[in-house]
Structure 1
Amino acid sequence: MSAELTFTPVSDIPQELIAGETGAIRQEAIDAIKHLDQWAAPQSVKTTLLNRMNKPHIRKSPLGTVLIIGAWNLPINLLLAPAVGAIAAGNCVILKPSEVSTHTAALLTRLLPKYLDPRTVRIINGAAEETTVLLEQKFDHMFYTGSGNIGKVIMMAAAKQLTPVTLELGGKSPAFVSKDVDIAVAARRLTFGKLFNTGQACIAPDYLIVERGIEQELVKEMKIAIQEFYGASPQTSQSYGRIINKNHFNRLKRLLDTTHGEIVAGGDTQEDDLYIAPTIVLNVQLNDPLMESEIFGPILPIWVVDTLNEGIEYVNSKDQPLALYVYSHNMKLADHILENTRSGGAVINDSLIQFMVTALPFGGTGPSGIGNYHGKRTFDIFSHERATLVKNLGMQKALTISYPPYTEKKTSWLEWLLFDKVKYADNAILKGKL
């Protein structure tokens, strides 16, 4: 497929909106338009000698009708990114925006029918009651982004209909900071990653694991970065957002009020403005309320350790996070951390940017999610791989070795034609080294 793609840049949209929402969706759509013929083409497969004259291949077909439930923190991206792949794969799509992001849900409900055929794509709004009714319906796939608790509800509803699911959940994503790192650079990148969308991102660094001896310098540089990004008063900055609603504001404020760590930056809150300042909490211990669950806000606890192996042990004792970050000049150390931990995704020496690379799979593992998507993977999620083989009606005599009556000679020929040959000397299993 060939298409000329032109877009008019919108200069008055904040950069976070472009990076996290509209730009990301645009790229997903561009990828689908450019590569759809390739994604949807039948895929040949290699086979053994007996079937080499046939045409075994995989055909891609739509699943049918799919349900996509979005999240409130990136309400456009997390609803429409999976929809791009679902539509490209030929499915009918039911979209359920988050009821928390009411204005965005209203906008999408008004605009999408103008551009997408309502016989193919429909939006259904509502809260828990409406979603419960929706989940009672039969779908061919359910795709959900949000909390683990609701993910369990989605999965239970899907199990009743034997419906496959993709769950994009969250978790406490750690960031390891080694003492050999360029502290100023690491501080700047961590500050951006934590405060993007006011910390309301499922892959934001949730807490830092910092080698002892650099914590004070790291805090100093992060304070400098905060002032550089948002000025002396972040509350008046046009680049600093707000907490989504009072429930989440109060949840975050309770965490600040009950922390045992030392608040070394920020800590200011204002309920009527839903404002929580960029906040750093130093010397947090593992029993601190800030370490209990995903923070999902602009509060960054720092746990100081003697060795990063302590951090590896702690991370492995908890649920696998959606993301894991390592800041270090020492690539052997970074590899050591990645090889001895598990996470949905990982980045060395930056934060968040993996989400913006559509060629990389995005998703969790274990409690942080089931399945991944972005780019071609989204198309594959919503496609059925139909195993297909085209058999030649000729050469029937050669096939008689497959039919009764069975003989030792037929068996010998069948084994030679059906299975790949393995040299005994090259295979430890066949040499008896199990």
Structure 2
Amino acid sequence: MFQDLVKSQKLFFDSQQTKSLHFRQKALKKLKDSILSHKQEILQALSEDLGKHFVEGYMSEVAQVLEEISHALKDLKKYTKPQKVKTPITHFGGRSEVVYEPYGVVLVISPWNYPFALSLIPLVGAIASGNCVILKPSSYSKNTETILEQILCECFASEYVCMVKGGHQETQALLEEKLDYIFFTGSVPVGKIVMEKASKNLIPLTLELGGKNPCILDKDVDLDMSVKRIVWGKFFNSGQTCIAPDFLLAHKSHQNELIAKIMHYLQEFFGEEKMQSSSYGKIITQRHYTRAKELLEVECGEVIGGGFDDEKHKIEPTIINFKNLEKNHEGLLCRVMQEEIFAPILPIFFYEDIKECIDLIKTYPKPLALYLFSQDKKLQRKIVEEIPYGGGCMNDCIVQVANAYLPFGGVGHSGMGSYHGSANFETFSHKKSIYYAPKFELPLRYPPYSKKIFGIAREKILDFLFAGGKDGMAK
């Protein structure tokens, strides 16, 4: 179905144009200018697809892409130069370098929850690295898909950057092609399919997935500020964020105040009629909305909230108070604790000993993010060292994704590979190692090996070079 598209992109890549520093810079600047000129249409599309307020849409999507472009333009000249590395004394007289080489034709498959940012941030990395790109956005966010297509058609010829519209059938067809790299953001089940398809042609890939991201609220915190940040992070984009806190583990010392503070900030953010607030978004489709409603079918927890607007696909910000972590094993068996929530629902357990939290978190696959609210430096270090996860924050939620100097990505079940900032360039580049040999050479490597060199047995020279040599002997 897409053989001709892939063929045309491979031919264009082989023309060497995309590798030119000037060509890459011009492409990125053109993309930036187009985004700025269509800013209002982008924000309107995000509002129609997900009910995002214009401020939220700009902050979480448009600004993120503009920052990535600025970062890439600032450092692009440095990235495109060969990187000199040390050469050991065993290679005396030679020199070594690493060249960042673009893969070729890259397929970017993006999701619906941040349909603009998660389409264009990897696209920026692929362009900056000198690749040709096929973008396949989600068909669920149709309005954003339309403006993305308009921007890309304005900026690029299809043999360089092309967007493919459609659903499952089109995605499957693209995955059958012999691409040079695949970048996928989405769910774990679909990620497994993408990886299986890629393996047939040994195509390298990055998977940005998700998971049950824990949030721990220690006793040693500024409770008011902590709750404010947790509520914002959880209910941003109506909970449809892969790095949102998935469940909250709060110290039992907060049992009497926590729920009241959460409800206070929900009202402060969204008012009495929360689902009517222009600052509160909606669930993307009827299918996702129905699934979210079903997650609230629990018998052993207190559901606080849970209002529904079937017509607008809105669910009121909802808390499930499962109370005691150690005793309430039934709560952990509920569906809401067995899969990634991806909805405005926050389960809460209260714990007594931090070991309970660590043991519970380790029963789940490695999460994409973890959040700890604590001023205890020893506890912060303990959590970082003992629990594997993609990345996270201390005393805040989800803002790590906005730092272009931090690589963003999962580990194990939550993904592989990372991007953003310099990691964006590295992800879409193959590190090609080059050694430049000198004109002269040492006779050490040539037979007969029993023959002495300079009157010294070869094994003694080798012992000195390999076993006795130090880093300082490399140049």
Q: Do Structure 1 and Structure 2 share a fold, with TM-score over 0.5? A: yes
**Match of residue 372 from structure 1:** 418
2:327 aligned partner? none
Deviation at 1:88, TM superposition (A): 0.8
Deviation of 1:309 (Å): 1.1
* SS of corresponding position for 1:302: strand
Within-5 A mapping of 1:370-409: 370-393=416-439, 395-396=440-441, 399-407=442-450, 409=452
Kept in 2: contact 1:58–1:386 (CA 8 A): yes
Counterparts of 2:376 and 2:88, CA distance in 1: 46
Number of the residue aligned with 2:47: none
- The question of whether the paired residues in 1 share the 8 Å contact of 2:104 and 2:132 is answered with yes
Alignment-derived partner of residue 164 in structure 1: 204
CA distance in structure 1 between the aligned counterparts of 2:254 and 2:191, rounded to whole angstroms:
39
Q: Is the 8 A contact 1:48 1:420 kept in 2?
A: no
Deviation at 1:215, TM superposition (A): 2.5
1:218-297 aligned at under 5 Å gives the runs 218-264=258-304, 266-283=305-322, 285-297=331-343
Q: 2:62 aligns with which of 12, 19, 22?
A: 22
Shift of 1:113: 1.0
CA distance in 1, matches of 2:121, 2:159: 20
Say if 2:86 and 2:95, in contact at 8 Å, map to a contact too: no
Q: How many residues align?
A: 419
Residues 357-402 of structure 1 show CA distances to partners (whole Å, capped at 9, x for unaligned) of 1111111111100111111111111111111111222x24xx2222
Q: CA deviation at 1:313?
A: 0.2
Structure 1 counterpart of 2:430, one-letter code: H
How far apart in 2 are the matches of 1:273 and 1:259?
Answer: 27
CA contact (8 A) 2:82 2:98 kept: yes
Give how far 1:282 is off: 0.8
SS in 1 for 2:256: helix
User: For 1:351, what is the secondary structure of its paired residue?
Assistant: coil
State the AA in 1 paired with 2:448: P
The Cα RMSD (Å) is 2.1
Bigger helix share: 2
Question: When the two structures are superposed, what TM-score results if normalisation uses the length of structure 1?
Answer: 0.92
CA contact (8 A) 1:50 1:417 kept: no
- 1:145 aligned to 2:185? yes
Q: Aligned with 2:258: secondary structure?
A: helix
What is residue 384 of structure 2 aligned with on the other side? 338
Instruction: Indicate the residue corresponding to 1:74 in structure 2.
Output: 114
8 Å Cα contact 2:367/2:414 also seen in 1: yes
Separation (CA, whole Å) in 1 of partners of 2:465 and 2:309: 72
**Counterpart in the other structure of 2:49:** none
CA contact (8 A) 2:87 2:95 kept: no
Contact 2:367 2:390 in 1 (8 A): yes
SS in 2 for 1:303: strand
Q: Which residue of structure 1 lines up, in the alignment, with residue 103 of structure 2?
A: 63
Query: TM-score under structure 2 normalisation?
Result: 0.84
Secondary structure of 2:139 counterpart: coil
1:143 deviates by: 0.6
| Alpha-carbon distance in 1 for matches of 2:246, 2:274 | 20
Partner-residue secondary structure (3-state), 2:267: helix
Q: 1:88 aligns with which of 110, 120, 128?
A: 128
Q: Is the 8 A contact 2:71 2:421 kept in 1?
A: yes
Q: Is the 8 A contact 1:147 1:170 kept in 2?
A: yes
What CA deviation, in whole Å up to 9, does each residue of 1:292-333 have, x standing for no partner?
101001110001112121010011111000000001121211
Out of 359, 370, 382, which is 2:405 matched to?
A: 359
C-alpha offsets along residues 175-225 of structure 1, whole Å, 9 cap, x if unaligned?
Answer: 011112111111100000001111000000000011113123111111111
Instruction: Give the partner amino acid of 1:353.
Output: V
What SS does the aligned partner of 2:296 have? helix
- Superposed, 1:406-425 pairs within 5 Å as 406-407=449-450, 409-410=452-453, 411-412=458-459, 414-415=461-462, 418-419=465-466, 421=468
* Aligned pairs (5 A) from 1:193-232: 193-232=233-272
- Asked if residue 319 in structure 1 is aligned to residue 359 in structure 2, the reply is no
1:47 and 2:47 are equivalent in the alignment: no
Counterpart Cα distance in 2 of 1:422 and 1:57 = 21
